[in-house]
Amino acid sequence: MSGVPFEEGVPGVRVADSDVLTPSTAGAFPVHRLAEGIELLGEYKDSAYQEPKYLVQRADGQAMQLPGLLYRVACSLDGTRDDGEVAAQVGAELEQHLTAEQVSFLVEERLRPVGLIAPDRGSQRTAEDGTTVAPTPTPAPVRSDPLLALRYRVGVISAGVAWRIAGFFRVLFVRPVWIGLLTAFVVTDLWIVAQGDVVGRMVAGVRDIALHPTLILAILGLGIVASAVHECGHVTACRYGGARPGDIGVGLYLVWPAFYSTVTDSYRLDRVGRLRTDLGGVYFNAVFMLGLGLVYIGTGEPWLLLALIGKHVETAWQFLPLLRMDGYYVLADLLGVPDLFGYVRPVLGSLLPWRPAHPLMRQLKPRARRLVLLWVVVVVPVLTLYLVAFLIAVPRLLPAAWEATLEYLRRLDAAARTGDVAVTTLGVFQLLLLALPWIGVGLILWSLAGLLHRVLAARWRWARMSVAGQPAVRRAVALTALGALGALLVARVAAVASAHPATTGEARFVAGALAAVRGIDGGPTVGPGEWPAREQLVGYAALTGAFDRHATVLTGGREPAVVASGVVVICVLVLVATRRLRPLAVAVPLAATVAMGPAVTALATAGPSLLGAAWAAGGALTVALVRRRPAMLLGAFAIAVGVVTEPLLAVPLAAGLAAVLTHGQPGTGRPRRSVAPVPANGTAAHPAHPVTGRRYTTVRGRSGMADPAVWLAMALLLAVGAFGAFGAVPAGRSRDLSLDGSERTVLLLAVGLVVVVGLVVRWLRPHAMAAATLVVLAVLPWRGAEGALLLAVVAAAGLAALVTDALARGRPEERPHPLLRVAVAVPAVVVIVVGGLFLPVAAGGLPHRELAAWITGPASTGGTVAVPVRLWGDLLRDGVPEDRLVLTTAPDAAAAIWTVEVGDVGGVTGAAAGFGAGATSLTVLPLPPAEMRHRMAAVERHAAEAAAGRHAAGPAVVAQQRLGRLLASSPRLLAEPDVLTALRNGSVDARVLVVLAGLTVEHTVEVAAVPTGSGEDPGAGPRHEIVVTRLDGRSADRPEVVAVLTEWLQAQPTPFAPSVVTAGPSGVSVGWSPPAPVPATGW
């Protein structure tokens, strides 16, 4: 149970002669009235105070105690009587003399500072000297800040819904009902204990959870439901007693999550009603455990017994009076003291021999005073012991917890990538529970820092801060924190850029830029749409030497992406610095992007997408902030450069333009006819755009869509986008991000969620429509999907900032319902946490320097080396002559002598050199002789002609025999003499020859036989079956060898793909369908 605590800061006022103002000779007295929503609750019943206390509650739910004099004065302030009449009335009721000046003093110095008096209506008063006195400004209402209170919380269920929930469960507090339910609860517990072997059943439950981890999710779900039921018990008891409950929500109490319910209004009840409210949650817990116990008795599931025992322990924990839990409130209401923690300092001060008893202690009755003293003496040492133990353990806990968290994240990353939904979901909840205590510790330290500042400010002037300077300090702190968050994002992007493995498209793009910097004509090619981005990379590298300052060429090529990320971050920070966006609005997407590994990986990719987004962001910022023509032209030019750099940007720009013209346009200048008329004061009826400050008005009648120029502009933008879609990447290749399917799905879910929320906010629909087009382009299976996904991530981050700012700027009554906010926040948090589980993949560095030394040394015999595109740039920078390198995808790669394989190649024999180990190893293999490759091509051509019915003549047989002889002499083909003879004389099917030749290019193959098909005449046609016994030195009866061989064979094109692949004890039998007779060759 929780609520808005009491305000004990309004001390009792003893009106003595020294307090009475000198009677005024003015002829008129001011008229005061209570503020809106003030409710006078009456006497605090069954209290521990020697003098009666009275309760007042503000509209915001803050309850306060007032002494009898102040309460009676407050009751008389109805807005019709002046202070003189109030003094006369209150004096008559109390049978003592009271003047108007005394009433004015009580109102202005006691009631107004705590927010009980309504603001002056602007009327001016005349002082004694005849001067005009302005009305007294209304100070901000004070709120209590009690010790160990639930400060960080958010409402989920409104007070109206809580009232209806309380009405539904109200019957449970009827005496026969609660007696029967509690009796049934006790009987159920006794029945479970009487079954015996409770420990054994608990062990069985632990075993079930170990075998089925998803049961932990079920137990967590039961715990959440039980906590919600607990709070329903408090609000139901509150309504049953005659008070009105407030909202129900969740928060962070100290270091763990907690539910709360606002039942402050129960203080109007007597002691029995307050105790009923305090115990209502525990009573509903008993009802919940009754149902859970009956389910366990009916099913016998051991894990349900563990959940039931856990709820018993949690319920018993509620009775501890050390913290603000149910037991604390029960003890406080039994004593008649609303806030026990408010007496910690008075009691400790009163214990000092040289200090008199504190006034708050003297107000209590003797029995209550002794019990409060005993409670403080017990609680303070216990809490101090816990705090000291925690501070001692923190230096050791933090490193261990950090290492455990990193290892836990690695396991969750593996589970998420393999699609293990249960383990991943459980990991998300456990990760949240692991992070919340540390968040709570940070919040506690922040609160302690604020308390220390207040103590210092009370004692020394240098520590004080003026009220006028506090907003500036808070803003400076917020900007500093935002800057640190932005720097953290850029730093993480830079770290991923230096370690993440490159994709083929990214390596090609960077290698092409390096070739341009070095003036090499034979480098990798880029598409027409990538040319502007490559030229920017070339200019940046030539100016800064990026390719020479890093360990790899790829890292240098990614440096502009890191700079572009910094530009985008600076743009959003400028919007905060110029007060266009709130700090919180920018902090949310920045923190989400930092946390999500796939988003950081996408930002660390070299390519045109992020460069174009940075140009467009800078241009849009210039246009939005600077209204001068030269600056706007400069901003438009920057946007144009962004579109040229990444033509896909034209598609969202066209969509946003269409949305603006269809749904609304900036309401500057002379507006067209709008749905809502503009008020007479000139303020537009529609909300202002948070960045540009313009207001949107919906267009009716003849809109901009009828203007041919608009259609021409949109068509031009779409044409540029189409060019980027089909011309940006060379045919047969795709621009790709190194993200797997799960990572792409998480990013698409996050972006899609932001777009959906943006579409709900009417004045942000043009932005949401632009981002929606990028989502559609990222989902479609086409060549530009990866570039569209990266642009969608950047657009969604900006849209999330606008959405958060739009929701925060509205008045509280205009904001979405708390349940709607929860419906948006919960999926967003889950997606962000799941995205955080995907850690960016780090690849070790390739030993390219050792490979470069081998190529330039005598061992390579001066031959040409075919290398992957990811190695080409590094080898070129390491001093390998350009004429010694050729890309494996280049047409002239067939003329190379050597080829370089990345990663473990297994037991391949005949390797010329090897460097490194594992996934980052490099192996130099000799390519098959050029003659063999030519013979393979000839046999493939003749076999294809034969399959098509165009039978080849003698030249096909000659080419087939030559290829067979080359295979028989290959060191990578190991076979018996009869097999080699069959290869040489041309009695083996052409398809077998082609497949064996291709297989020996990558592996060492051992063939046991080339048998004749079952039922076939050995002399009737070529042999079309082989038996493979070993592959790369490993036996073919091993499952992994069978899997590799089968996968390779099934990947062959028609007609070379075998029809039968069978694994047996003698090896893997590979067969093709019998060939059709070829009369020209005698088959």
Tens digit of each residue's pLDDT (9 = 90 or more) over 470-524: 678 788 888 999 999 999 999 999 999 988 888 878 888 898 899 888 888 777 8
Q: Which of 196-210, 226-240, 871-885 has the highest mean pLDDT?
A: 226-240
pLDDT at 263 over 70: yes
pLDDT at 501: 85
Which two three-digit tokens encode residue 524?
């990798």
Higher per-residue confidence, 675 vs 341? 341
Which of 284-293, 571-580, 713-722, 768-777 shows the lowest per-residue confidence on average (mean pLDDT)?
713-722
Which two three-digit tokens encode residue 958?
């000659």
pLDDT tier at 11, thresholds 50, 70, 90: very low
The β-bridge partners of 1060 are 1071
pLDDT at 883: 85
What is the C-alpha to C-alpha distance for residues 340 and 322, in angstroms, rounded to an integer? 10
pLDDT at 129: 52
Which of 84-98, 171-185, 481-495 shows the lowest per-residue confidence on average (mean pLDDT)?
84-98
pLDDT at 1044: 82
- In the DSSP assignment, the letter for residue 802 is H
pLDDT at 179 over 90: yes
pLDDT at 941: 58
Domain layout of the chain by residue ranges = 6-133, 147-338, 340-464, 504-520+539-562+570-583+606-677+684-837, 848-926, 930-1081
- 879 Cβ contact list (under 8 Å, min separation 6): 852, 856
pLDDT at 559 over 90: yes
Which of 73-77, 287-291, 429-433, 735-739 shows the lowest per-residue confidence on average (mean pLDDT)?
735-739
Phi-psi region of 486 (alpha: psi -120 to 50; beta: other; left: phi over 0): alpha
Is the previous residue joined to 1055 through a cis bond, with omega within 30 degrees of 0?
Answer: yes
> Collapsing DSSP states into helix, strand and coil, what is residue 3?
coil
- 472 Cβ contact list (under 8 Å, min separation 6): none
What is the C-alpha to C-alpha distance for residues 910 and 971, in angstroms, rounded to an integer? 8
- Give the chain's length: 1083
Cα distances (angstroms) measured from residue 779 to each of 244, 658, 772, 785, 840: 51, 22, 11, 7, 22
Please report the sign of the dihedral spanned by the C-alpha atoms of residue 175, residue 176, residue 177, residue 180. positive
The β-bridge partners of 42 are 55
pLDDT at 945 over 60: no
pLDDT at 305: 92
Once rounded to an integer, what is the mean pLDDT over residues 750-756? 91
> Collapsing DSSP states into helix, strand and coil, what is residue 1063?
strand
Which two three-digit tokens encode residue 681?
């004061």
Which of 85-89, 118-122, 827-831, 930-934 shows the lowest per-residue confidence on average (mean pLDDT)?
930-934
pLDDT at 717: 54
pLDDT at 165: 94
Once rounded to an integer, what is the mean pLDDT over residues 649-661? 75
pLDDT at 82 over 50: yes
pLDDT at 329: 92
pLDDT at 866 over 60: yes
Once rounded to an integer, what is the mean pLDDT over residues 917-922? 83
pLDDT at 65 over 80: yes
Once rounded to an integer, what is the mean pLDDT over residues 422-441? 71
pLDDT digits (tens, 9 = 90+) for 309-346: 999 999 999 998 888 889 999 999 999 888 888 888 88
Higher per-residue confidence, 403 vs 745? 745
User: How many other CB atoms sit within 10 Å of the CB of residue 832?
Assistant: 19
What is the C-alpha to C-alpha distance for residues 247 and 277, in angstroms, rounded to an integer? 15
For the chain, give the mean pLDDT. 78
The β-bridge partners of 874 are none
Higher per-residue confidence, 689 vs 276? 276
pLDDT at 731: 41
End-to-end CA distance of the chain: 92
pLDDT at 1073: 81
pLDDT at 1081: 30
Higher per-residue confidence, 212 vs 1012? 212
Which of 128-137, 194-203, 328-337, 752-761 shows the lowest per-residue confidence on average (mean pLDDT)?
128-137
pLDDT at 930: 55
pLDDT at 9 over 60: no
Helix ranges restricted to H, 418-503: 421-459, 470-499
> Collapsing DSSP states into helix, strand and coil, what is residue 400?
helix
What is the C-alpha to C-alpha distance for residues 843 and 601, in angstroms, rounded to an integer? 13
What is the C-alpha to C-alpha distance for residues 790 and 543, in angstroms, rounded to an integer? 27
With beta carbons less than 8 A apart as the criterion, state whether 666 and 696 touch. yes
pLDDT at 391: 76
Higher per-residue confidence, 78 vs 527? 78
pLDDT at 734: 45
pLDDT at 628 over 90: no
pLDDT tier at 16, thresholds 50, 70, 90: very low
pLDDT at 558: 92
pLDDT at 934: 55
Higher per-residue confidence, 940 vs 983? 983
